[in-house]
Structure 1
Amino acid sequence: MKIGFDNEKYLKMQSEHIRERIGQFDNKLYLEFGGKLFDDFHASRVLPGFQPDSKLRMLCELSDQAEIVIVISAEDIEKNKIRGDLGITYDSDVLRLMHIYQELGLYVGSVVITKYNAQESAELFKNRLEKLGIKVYRHYLIPGYPTNVPFIVSDDGYGKNDYIETSRPLVVVTAPGPGSGKMAVCLSQLYHEHKHGIKAGYAKFETFPIWNIPLKHPVNLAYEAATADLNDINMIDPFHLEAYGETTINYNRDVEIFPVLNAMFQRIYGESPYKSPTDMGVNMAGNCICNDDACRNASCQEIIRRYYASRRRLLLGACSEEETYKLEMLMNQADITVHDRPVVDAALTESERTGGPAAALELPDGSIVTGKTSDLLGACSALLLNALKELAGIGHEIKIISPQAIEPIQSLKTKYLGSRNPRLHTDEVLIALSVSAATSEDAKLAMEQLPKLKGCQAHVSVMPGSVDIKQFKLLSIQATFEAKYEKNSVFFNNKGV
């Protein structure tokens, strides 16, 4: 993939811009961090060259000035809300995040429990944190939030929240996921700091949408695709256009809430420091795109991948038809179809030729390899072996896995684990390949090619089992799947057997 984003320039420019924003206030800035602070793989896919941990590295450059406040909603604790990407509860993730930040030398000052109403689970979590020596603060539900500004910005509103004691100029407010109440925590602190004679500032750090590239730029359309389930819509910031005569991009929720935020700022300070939602942002990503075509192409591929993922979830009953329709509309806006993804036609053509499931993968040099279903291997497993042999320069006719490595796995599956399918999944193929590598130079050479699969595009003509989908993710292969089952059995495919 061609590099389209200058990551080092981004780290330098972003940290400098945040320092400048701190200086605009009384050396106190509450910075709301939207999205993922690290492992931002969406950004790395649509901005090739962006490192998934870029925001965290940038924050490390400010470590002497920054402290982190982690926010979690009592309602999320009460209902054991799960992070879909990690499969752990939000309260467990708070502890995980604290550990990661501290390991990197970042100072975690406290945890704030929002929407607190003496819920038993929230109280137990608070006690657990305090026993670990962690400061915990409580913020309460405020009647009429966010529209009843006179009540919210009063001693009976924000005034009832605990005042979070902070010690550094930059306070990064982050959370395990959306809806935790990060913005409310920042605004509550502005109210309390003002009571203490400090004119603190507020800013928002979100990578997408990028404010200084066109509204319908594929990078911004890819953000809409990523949030199709939330129905976020990119739009021109009308407040910025009116104030400065300049077209900038924001999204509907920030534009809708800005009049309320503006009224809060005016009530706290007597005047608002910002004239638009764009003014509140500090994102410099748009200034660091160094190859626009590379970012456009990568973003178009991301939109297509999101479309296929939506089709898969729709088949599983995990999303609505409206979400899929929105992604189809975004593809139309980007002037692309599934056929702009080369591996799609390659996989479907191979499937039609062989009369069974097939898969295709685009190698780093742009060439495409395919895999078909056989008595021994599923399409994904055959694809993986063919790709490794091609990368290693090993002839297609050469067998790189010995029968002695395959037969015990098949026997284990069918005789002892109750599987009716003797074909090897991708994880089993890799185990067999690693066993063969102990005695075969070809197998060893093929194994050494695995890192080269990172970032490769793949497509499968049917929906594979969960084991193969997981293995593609572990290998960082960006795969899509047709939304249809190999066999007419929901049970068969959900079990991935």
Structure 2
Amino acid sequence: MKLGFDNDKYLQMQSSHIRERISHFDNKLYLEFGGKLFDDYHASRVLPGFQPDSKLRMLKQLADQAEIVIVISAEDIEKNKVRGDLGITYDKDVMRLISVYRQNGLFVGSVVITKYAGQESAHLFRNRLKKMGIQVYRHYVIPGYPANVPLIVSDEGYGKNEYIKTSRPLVVVTAPGPGSGKMAVCLSQLYQEHKRGIRAGYAKFETFPIWNLPLKHPVNLAYEAATADLNDINMIDPFHLEAYGKSTVNYNRDVEIFPVLNAMFQQIYGESPYKSPTDMGVNMAGNCICDDEACQEASRQEIIRRYYDSLGRFLAGACAEDEVYKIEMLMNQAGITVHDRPVVDAALKRAEETGAPAAALQLADGRMITGKTSNLLGACAALLLNALKELAGIDHACHVISPEAIEPIQILKTKYLGSRNPRLHTDEVLIALSVSAATDKNAQLALDQLPRLAGCQAHTSVMVGSVDKKQFKKLSIQATFEAKYENSPIFFKESGV
């Protein structure tokens, strides 16, 4: 739980750097905003001290200068594309984003529907937004994009798109997810603004990879692990190296598209304002690391967590085996195995001792807590209770939930709700603990320890149900799960990587 990132310095430095970039142009900057704006939990895990809403807080410092443009692809609306982390469609997420930004005092100027070709679903969504008083613009598919630069940068290309009317110096272009068309919207606006005599600028804000950390730094390797499903690859920016003789890190898609972007800039301006993809970025996160070793260790743990996540997804048929192999390669590059995650061996040892599923959790001070499966509690529920009692200084022989109180819940589950498993899950055990807290001081004391579980590491010897996974997430416990079903002896593979 050691801090490695100075969040206050980041907020000040990042907002100042964006203001400085705005001044390079005619007081108009289109900022392509990648990643999650107000719930960046990956960044908070690999840069301990980084707050998940840091980027939102940084933008709030620029609220008087900034407006937000949200981009969504008509194709994603048409096929009801879903955000994997939230389980909602992209069009619903646009509505959610508008609400969140406005609640935080940020001005949402408009929504742009890209790849518009008269799709009925996109047309209905457009009408819905307009009825809510939200300005909506349509951008169209351009034949030969992005290679046919002469056509793209012309009145038959970007010129056919509807011009987005903006009123503030900083235009933050964001989207529900990748592939929405943020970059194309920014470049289209540069062309449209140039026709109107305004020399607007473009910049890109991506937190990862961090350009001024080494290529194989664990923080950057953790980004590759996080995007293993997209097959993003970190690489030295060859354009930056050639222009300045300095090694900086970017990722393959930006490096591959830069010659095309450069040609577009030259077509619009007569010259390009940037010599490399790195030049386009405005990310200051690398300058705000205050304890590099803490960030390295946090990132090594994140790579192992991503590995276990991929193993579980492969077991469920949700990803290809190549994704698992890629993260194995990253673990080799980082010089780590699953045994560098202490809770793994602790959970597996406890499972071997008891002959049943078990779980382990490491507290902030390094103490290791385990939980075993019993007739009353599942391994995760037992682990949670044991951890709370340990933090509260309550003897483990002391019952904070009476067995007599658990029995009626088991009867409810099996007799009336049709469950075959009488053991309590984590959510049920917390409800039972809350009920006990009304009359038992020890139960209340244990309940009061819940916030102290945030950031703790945990591991289970088998895959667990969605209820326990969600509860760990709500408590901010960073958990991994062995790729093995409770009722099957089959592992995906040995955990010896």
CA distance in 2, matches of 1:134, 1:243: 43
For residue 135 of structure 2, what is the aligned residue in structure 1?
135
CA shift for structure 1 position 356: 1.0
Q: Deviations over 1:298-352 (max 9, x none)?
A: 0000000000000000000000000000000000000000000000000011111
CA distance in 2, matches of 1:205, 1:156: 29
Q: Deviations over 1:55-105 (max 9, x none)?
A: 000000001110000000000111111111111111111111111111111
CA distance in 1, matches of 2:98, 2:422: 45
For residue 457 of structure 1, what is the aligned residue in structure 2?
457
SS at match of 1:215: coil
For residue 349 of structure 2, what is the aligned residue in structure 1?
349
Aligned residue type for 1:29: L
CA distance in 2, matches of 1:105, 1:378: 44
SS at match of 2:71: strand
Residue 15 in 1 paired to residue 15 in 2?
A: yes
For residue 296 of structure 1, what is the aligned residue in structure 2?
296
CA distance in 2, matches of 1:285, 1:350: 40
CA distance in 2, matches of 1:83, 1:128: 21
CA distance in 2, matches of 1:99, 1:399: 45
For residue 272 of structure 2, what is the aligned residue in structure 1?
272
CA distance in 2, matches of 1:15, 1:468: 39
Residue 475 in 1 paired to residue 480 in 2?
A: no
For residue 311 of structure 1, what is the aligned residue in structure 2?
311
For residue 180 of structure 1, what is the aligned residue in structure 2?
180
SS at match of 2:114: strand
CA shift for structure 1 position 172: 0.3
SS at match of 2:459: strand
CA distance in 1, matches of 2:405, 2:25: 66
CA shift for structure 1 position 109: 0.5
For residue 493 of structure 1, what is the aligned residue in structure 2?
none
For residue 365 of structure 1, what is the aligned residue in structure 2?
365
Greater CA drift, 480-489 or 101-110? 480-489
Q: Deviations over 1:3-31 (max 9, x none)?
A: 00000000000001000100000110000
CA shift for structure 1 position 404: 3.6
Greater CA drift, 232-241 or 102-111? 102-111
For residue 442 of structure 1, what is the aligned residue in structure 2?
442
CA shift for structure 1 position 403: 2.8
Q: Deviations over 1:345-385 (max 9, x none)?
A: 00011111111111000011111010111111111111111
Aligned residue type for 2:205: F
Aligned residue type for 1:283: N
Residue 6 in 1 paired to residue 24 in 2?
A: no
Q: For structure 1, list consecutive stretches of 5 or more residues without a partner in the other structure.
A: 491-497
For residue 163 of structure 2, what is the aligned residue in structure 1?
163
For residue 334 of structure 1, what is the aligned residue in structure 2?
334
For residue 485 of structure 2, what is the aligned residue in structure 1?
485
CA shift for structure 1 position 405: 2.1
Please report the RMSD computed on the Cα atoms of aligned residues, expressed in angstroms: 0.9
Aligned residue type for 1:268: I
Aligned residue type for 1:441: K
For residue 35 of structure 1, what is the aligned residue in structure 2?
35
For residue 395 of structure 2, what is the aligned residue in structure 1?
395
Residue 428 in 1 paired to residue 417 in 2?
A: no
Q: Deviations over 1:398-434 (max 9, x none)?
A: 1110134212110101111111211111111111111
Aligned residue type for 2:371: G
CA distance in 1, matches of 2:279, 2:470: 41
**Number of residue-to-residue matches in the alignment:** 490
CA distance in 1, matches of 2:180, 2:426: 38
For residue 44 of structure 1, what is the aligned residue in structure 2?
44
Q: Deviations over 1:121-175 (max 9, x none)?
A: 0000111111111110000000000000000000000000000000110000000
Structure 1 residues 312 and 343, CA gap change in structure 2 (3 angstroms)? same
SS at match of 1:298: helix
Aligned residue type for 2:48: P
Aligned residue type for 1:167: S
Deviation >2 Å, runs of 4+: none
Q: For structure 2, list consecutive stretches of 5 or more residues without a partner in the other structure.
A: 491-497
For residue 145 of structure 1, what is the aligned residue in structure 2?
145
Q: TM-score, length-normalised on structure 2? A: 0.98
CA contact (8 A) 1:236 1:248 kept: yes
CA shift for structure 1 position 489: 10
Aligned residue type for 1:48: P
Percent identity, aligned pairs only? 81
CA distance in 1, matches of 2:452, 2:483: 28
Aligned residue type for 2:92: S
CA distance in 1, matches of 2:401, 2:284: 49
Aligned residue type for 1:485: Y
CA distance in 2, matches of 1:396, 1:134: 58
CA distance in 1, matches of 2:287, 2:198: 32
Residue 112 in 1 paired to residue 112 in 2?
A: yes
CA contact (8 A) 1:405 1:435 kept: no
Residue 192 in 1 paired to residue 205 in 2?
A: no
CA distance in 2, matches of 1:8, 1:350: 42
